[in-house]
Structure 1
Amino acid sequence: MTGFDTRAIHAGQAFDPLTGAVIPPVYQTSTFVQEHVGGLRSGYEYTRGTNPTRDALQTLIADLEGGRHGLSFASGLAAEDAVLRGLLRPGDHVLMGDDVYGGTHRLANQILVPWGVELSTVEMSNLDHVAAALRPNTRMLWVETPSNPLMKVSDIAALSEIGHGHDCVVVVDNTFSTPALQRPLALGADVVVHSATKYLGGHSDVLGGLVATDDERMAEQVGFLQYAAGAVSAPWEVFLTIRGIKTLSLRMHRHSDNAEAVAESLLEHPAVEQVFYPGLPDHAGHQVAAAQMTRFSGMVSFALRGGAEAARTFAEATSVFQLAESLGGVESLVNYPAQMTHASVRGTELEVPDNIIRLSVGIEDTDDLVSDVAQALAQV
């Protein structure tokens, strides 16, 4: 199997040999009966360690990201925690983008830093700034592209070259793009992380995180944390994620179509100061995005001239777009980052301007979405 859409449906998804069921059974079990002491059936002992359903998802994400190893976790942050603690040691320095999900920065700053890891942030889309920010003990570049919520685009191939020249692990958060649109491992990255809660699951009904890598040593280190700390994904959540991935490519193209239409509609509105969408030709990172992405996904952010009051008014005035945290579901969501998803970084170098709105553009009728944005803007 070579085509992405074919692999999204079939990788790790062999039919059940006992009954011929097209969909493999969900192994909703905590433990497995042994033939004798130490005599495991097909290697399965206890679900925290291994489970056939989770194995299927891990095979699937590794295949789609172009790696040999996949790991599934209870949440995106659990996946990030395992990567950070599995690959770093006290005294190491991690260089992180200055516009990342607030929870990622909180995890590194409030859990890893007290443990002894050094953290600094940089404009990751500026290669000169990245090179200048490297320290003798820098061991990881943490890249989020497009970034959250300002949609900054970082050159994965160039950053991988810089990082590897400094003996750094290059980690890319691919949540916004998914492997349907962007494949960081093929561009030189070492590790890919996902919040599977978002586009991969795709229906706002599951919590999960995923890691993919082609490096066996890194897979073993992260896998040890998966097993020893135990933040693994449960079988039913895994099943829902697999089901979501089967339609990933179709959804991502529809998300991209709608986001492009919404972004273009924002450009000419007098209340809008700036639109952040990599698919727009005048976006600062458009050329890089076009080179490493096949489409530009469904996330659009914009700044309102009326400041915080206008942004809050807009966020509470939409009807098709629902006011909620998270993103990547089939339904459209509106988010006010300064007081919602990025409240944890207020007062830090990652603080999001209070006139920013972030839209997760769903797969509803395009005209309905554009009209909803227009009527909400009319109230600011």
Structure 2
Amino acid sequence: MGKISEVIPLHEERKYRFDTLSIHAAEQEDQNQALNSPIYMTSTFTFRDLQQAEDTFSFKRRAYVYTRGGNPTVNLFEQRLSTLEGGVDGVAFSSGMAAISSVVMSLTKSGDHVLAHRNLYGSTFGFLNNLLENYGVRTDFIDMTDLNRVEESILPDTRILYLETPTNPSLEIIDIAGISRMAHERGIKVVVDNTFATPVLQRPLELGADVVLHSVTKYISGHGDVVGGVATSRDFDYVQRLKFSYMCELGGVMSPFNAWLLIRGMKTLGLRMERHCSNASKIARFLKNHRGVEKVLYPELEEHPGHELAKQQMKGFGGIVSFELKGDRSMAEEFVKHLSLIKLAVSLGDAESLVEVPAMMTHRDYPEEKLHRFGFSGRTVRISAGLEHPEDLIQDIGESLDSVYE
């Protein structure tokens, strides 16, 4: 495993490590010399005269006009997150799904085909499987952990290979570099949702991906008080097209206040991810030895099918643990009912540990009778390990399991 504090270039003449970049990348000089960047809570910006306005609208002068198209606080967030991911710039959105839908729409047209991994966030699956079809774009869902299957499934009109890794909720690991090589030989774009790993643990652009997405509601925020999304790329022209032809026209703009909260959240991202990963590891190893657990889905475990690949392309194994309980679906319902410290809720990446049963909550768009085809079941439980003391979390999990399987 590599070190989280790998050096990333900030300026041509200097190099800084990740934790430094998460605090200082793309810093903007403030006229009042404030340590923290101000929040520009304004919908519009003024001009001194019509000549200045003319110069701005004719692109002779770079300036802010209207927050939907650009705002200093939002731009700082976009540039800092992009620096952490190794992109040239980014586009912030009002939600993760606004980012996902805009990126997919920006890369497809009626008659095109999308190839996606079988295991995705429930709303992403719903968008690709249901809504996108209304606009003449077809999606097939396959097991992308099998590169041969991917190659066999690519069609002449395939335009995107879409994936998460680790996947939600089954934590399958997909070879980003292998997928990217295969796609680029055919002129296909690779889009990776990096929400689970964050740039602390994995940087898909460096492995060949074309676009990286985040629901920044999760780990980037880290405090459960923001809804937002972001997309970044190494293709500057594409980023500009995504911003002005899709984000602006569809209207999924991020609030400057949310951007400011995300800038604050990024300052502790590296530290938080270390604790999330550590707690998840301890929870996974405890679950592995409990009589009520059929299998644990966590990439750090040697028996996990993606263990070796995760060691190669990640710098840690993440803060999410999924597991299958013995018995039927009612066991999962009973388990979450008996928890006291860990909260039953959607989302993940917060300071608080959260638990959910995906088939009954975030992944209801998946057809229940076919869940096994998509890599999980009605007995799958997903825990987002928070920042609490690990012994308290394990005690809560153990007491709940014992109540169910006594």
TM, length-normalised to structure 1: 0.97
Question: Any unmatched runs of 5+ in structure 1?
Answer: none
Does residue 355 of the first structure (1) align with residue 389 of the second (2)? no
Deviates more, 1:340-349 or 1:326-335: 340-349
Query: In structure 1, what is the equivalent of residue 251 of structure 2?
Result: 230
**Structure 2 SS opposite 1:363:** coil
Query: Aligned partners of 1:278, 1:352: CA distance in 2, in Å?
Result: 15
Query: In structure 2, what is the equivalent of residue 377 of structure 1?
Result: 401
**Structure 2 SS opposite 1:203:** coil
Aligned counterparts, 1:13-162, within 5 A: 13-16=27-30, 18-37=31-50, 38-39=53-54, 40=56, 42-162=62-182
User: How far has the Cα of 1:12 moved from its partner?
Assistant: 2.2
Query: In structure 2, what is the equivalent of residue 364 of structure 1?
Result: 388
User: How far has the Cα of 1:351 moved from its partner?
Assistant: 7.9
Cα-to-partner distance string for 1:229-250 (whole Å, 9 max, x where unaligned)? 1101100011111111110000
Query: Aligned partners of 1:341, 1:351: CA distance in 2, in Å?
Result: 15
Does residue 280 of the first structure (1) align with residue 301 of the second (2)? yes
User: How far has the Cα of 1:13 moved from its partner?
Assistant: 2.6
User: How far has the Cα of 1:171 moved from its partner?
Assistant: 0.5
Amino acid in the other structure paired with 1:57: F
1:271/1:377 contact within 8 Å kept: yes
Deviates more, 1:139-148 or 1:38-47: 38-47
Query: Aligned partners of 1:300, 1:257: CA distance in 2, in Å?
Result: 11
Does residue 165 of the first structure (1) align with residue 179 of the second (2)? no
Does residue 255 of the first structure (1) align with residue 276 of the second (2)? yes
Query: Aligned partners of 2:87, 2:104: CA distance in 1, in Å?
Result: 19
Query: Aligned partners of 1:350, 1:305: CA distance in 2, in Å?
Result: 19
Query: Aligned partners of 1:168, 1:63: CA distance in 2, in Å?
Result: 24
Q: 1:305 aligns with which of 326, 332, 346?
A: 326
Query: Aligned partners of 2:37, 2:265: CA distance in 1, in Å?
Result: 15
Query: Aligned partners of 2:27, 2:354: CA distance in 1, in Å?
Result: 31
Cα-to-partner distance string for 1:257-295 (whole Å, 9 max, x where unaligned)? 000000000001110000000111111000000101000
Query: Aligned partners of 1:351, 1:178: CA distance in 2, in Å?
Result: 22
Aligned counterparts, 1:179-258, within 5 A: 179-223=199-243, 224-258=245-279
Query: Aligned partners of 1:373, 1:184: CA distance in 2, in Å?
Result: 33
Percent of counterpart pairs with the same letter? 42
**Structure 1 SS opposite 2:339:** coil
Does residue 3 of the first structure (1) align with residue 17 of the second (2)? yes
**Structure 2 SS opposite 1:219:** helix
Amino acid in the other structure paired with 1:256: C
User: How far has the Cα of 1:14 moved from its partner?
Assistant: 3.0
Aligned counterparts, 1:298-337, within 5 A: 298-337=319-358
Deviates more, 1:149-158 or 1:214-223: 214-223
Q: 1:343 aligns with which of 361, 364, 371?
A: 364
User: How far has the Cα of 1:119 moved from its partner?
Assistant: 0.4
Deviates more, 1:351-360 or 1:303-312: 351-360
Query: Aligned partners of 1:74, 1:19: CA distance in 2, in Å?
Result: 29
User: How far has the Cα of 1:34 moved from its partner?
Assistant: 1.4
1:87/1:221 contact within 8 Å kept: no
Cα-to-partner distance string for 1:27-65 (whole Å, 9 max, x where unaligned)? 000011112232558511110011000110111111000
Query: Aligned partners of 1:326, 1:303: CA distance in 2, in Å?
Result: 19
User: How far has the Cα of 1:112 moved from its partner?
Assistant: 1.2
2:293/2:325 contact within 8 Å kept: yes
TM, length-normalised to structure 2: 0.91
User: How far has the Cα of 1:352 moved from its partner?
Assistant: 4.0
Distance 1:15 1:216, change over 3 A: closer
2:117/2:142 contact within 8 Å kept: yes
| CA root-mean-square deviation | 1.3
Query: Aligned partners of 1:354, 1:327: CA distance in 2, in Å?
Result: 19
2:273/2:319 contact within 8 Å kept: yes
User: How far has the Cα of 1:178 moved from its partner?
Assistant: 0.2
Amino acid in the other structure paired with 1:26: I
Cα-to-partner distance string for 1:133-176 (whole Å, 9 max, x where unaligned)? 11111110001000000000001000101111121100110000
Distance 1:329 1:337, change over 3 A: same
2:40/2:72 contact within 8 Å kept: yes
Query: Aligned partners of 2:395, 2:95: CA distance in 1, in Å?
Result: 34
Query: Aligned partners of 1:147, 1:72: CA distance in 2, in Å?
Result: 22
Cα-to-partner distance string for 1:299-357 (whole Å, 9 max, x where unaligned)? 00000012201001111211111000000111100001011010122345548411000
**Structure 1 SS opposite 2:91:** strand
Query: In structure 2, what is the equivalent of residue 12 of structure 1?
Result: 26
